Amino acid sequence: MSSAATTPPSVDKVDGFSRKSVRKAKQKRSQSSSQFRSQGKPIELTPLPLLKDVSAQEQPELFLKKLQQCCAVFDFMDTLSDLKMKEYKRSTLNELVDYVTVSRGYLTEQAYPEVVKMVSYNIFRTLPPSDSNEFDPEEDEPTLEASWPHLQLVYEFFIRFLESQEFQPSIAKKYIDQKFVLQLLELFDSEDPRERDYLKTVLHRIYGKFLGLRAFIRKQINNIFLRFVYETEHFNGVAELLEILGSIINGFALPLKAEHKQFLVKVLIPLHTVRSLSLFHAQLAYCIVQFLEKDPALTEPVIRGLLKFWPKTCSQKEVMYLGELEEILDVIEPTQFVKIQEPLFKQISRCVSSPHFQVAERALYYWNNEYIMSLIEENSNVILPIMFTSLYRISKEHWNPAIVALVYNVLKSFMEMNSTLFDELTSTYKSDRQREKKKEKEREELWKKLEDLELKRSLQSDGIIPT
């Protein structure tokens, strides 16, 4: 199904760390589809007159006929077949898009089922399997949907239909039901980002207009995420779904329902643990911050959750977590801050000492944030002792000079904030270090003594080294 085969260069066999993107650089952008042409005669559609060319009474019926014609699905993988008919369908679809946008009084009750049918026929399909098992969303080019010329117009049409002034959810809900929504959600796994973008808008409108479907939609999204996190770690539409959720969370009524709080703790927080976090982290962070702006009391469980799942081996993720944490701290209430400051700064202290300079740098940059600084100032007697040892140590030991310079900034701020405490900690640190050095020295001398003892013994017994 892909348009080019890949032959990995032989250097690959020697160097286990070569980047996949280098390996796959030769591969051209591929297209795929699962709409295949059925064997048999080519599709023949009788050309219909244009809508603008018929009278107003005839338009609704013509509209229905055109909808029915557009139910015919073409095979785009075969680039040479049915070219004339494909073009006809494309221009019909275009016409329908315009018609729905500007017309009035066209939407009869009979139109609804035909619209839904046409859309279903076109978009609902089993998605083609991914090209390779190792599709890496971050590095590989996505496989695009071959029938996009038609598909795009169908989506466009559907959205305008949903947004039309004449659209009535009470009629539509007979046809846009749970089964429809379920199939729609499955499409979010499409590799084609353009399709996912349209789906995002479609689902957003449906959620807005069909109150009866809201709980169902939320529940299904829950399931998708849970499956993603705990079973497959594969789903392409997480970012889009999160964007929709962002607009939903934004509209939550206060006080927050227990269902929503559960969702935050059981689904959104664990979502941080997947490997491909970078693909949807911005949207996820946005959702989290929205939740906290709605209900600040959730701050403590959120931060504790993040600390629990703090990445231990993936530095790229650590940097993301630090970014998200800063966004959370930007909106945190001082009373909440006091509750979590100890575990929080213990983790920051570890980040600051990280040998990975990007992690250390990102953590140190917190001290450039005015609001965070004001929180630290208010609680410097708790925070300074936690941070002090690692800061002082890395100012002497870190390999990266830029980090050392940043540490100076942080230490200077602390010095000015609370000189007495700072001086106390300095002298304790110094005396601790001296004690350690003394112990080191004693240990070395002890070993030396033992060595000398051993030599003396061996010399006494006529050169025979005792075992």
Partner 1 sequence: MEVFKLLKELKSNLELEVHYLPKENGLSLIESTTIGHGNGVSAKGRDDQVEDLWSLTSFFGYSTQTFVLAVNLLDRFLAMMKVQSKHLACLSIGCLHIAVRVTEEECNVSSSHELIRISQSKFTVSDLSRMEKIISEKLNFQFKAVTALTFLHLYHAIALSHKSNRKDFLNLEKLEAQLKACLCRIVFSKAKPSVLALSLLMLEIEALQSADLLEIAHRIQAHLKISKADLAHWRGLVDQCMREYSSPECAKPDHKKLMWIVSRRTAQNLHSNYRCIPELPTIPEGAWDESESEDSSEDLSSGEESLSSSLGSDAEGLYFPSNFRSRACRP
| Nearer CB in complex with partner 1: 6/250 | 250
Report strand pairing: 144-145 vs 31-32: parallel
Q: How far is the CB of 298 from partner 1 (least distance, A)?
A: 15
Q: Which tokens go with 267?
A: 């689904």
| Nearer CB in complex with partner 1: 95/361 | 361
Residue 48 DSSP code: P
Q: How far is C-alpha 320 from the chain's CA centre?
A: 11
Q: How far is the CB of 190 from partner 1 (least distance, A)?
A: 13
Q: What is the DSSP string of 201-270?
A: HHHHHHHHH-HHHHHHHHHHHHHHHHHIIIII---TTHHHHHHHHHHHHHTPPSSPPHHHHHHIIIIITG
Backbone angles phi, psi at 145, to 5 degrees: -75, 125
Cis before 255 (ω within 30): yes
Task: Output the CA torsion 407→408→414→418 (10° steps).
Answer: 150
Residue type, 106: Y
Q: How far is the CB of 161 from partner 1 (least distance, A)?
A: 13
Q: How far is the CB of 214 from partner 1 (least distance, A)?
A: 5
| Nearer CB in complex with partner 1: 309/429 | 429
| Nearer CB in complex with partner 1: 228/367 | 367
| Nearer CB in complex with partner 1: 81/395 | 395
Q: How far is the CB of 329 from partner 1 (least distance, A)?
A: 13
Q: How far is the CB of 387 from partner 1 (least distance, A)?
A: 14
CA distance 77 to 85: 15
| Nearer CB in complex with partner 1: 36/371 | 371
Helix (H/G/I), strand (E/B), else coil: 32:
strand
Q: How far is the CB of 460 from partner 1 (least distance, A)?
A: 41
| Nearer CB in complex with partner 1: 53/423 | 423
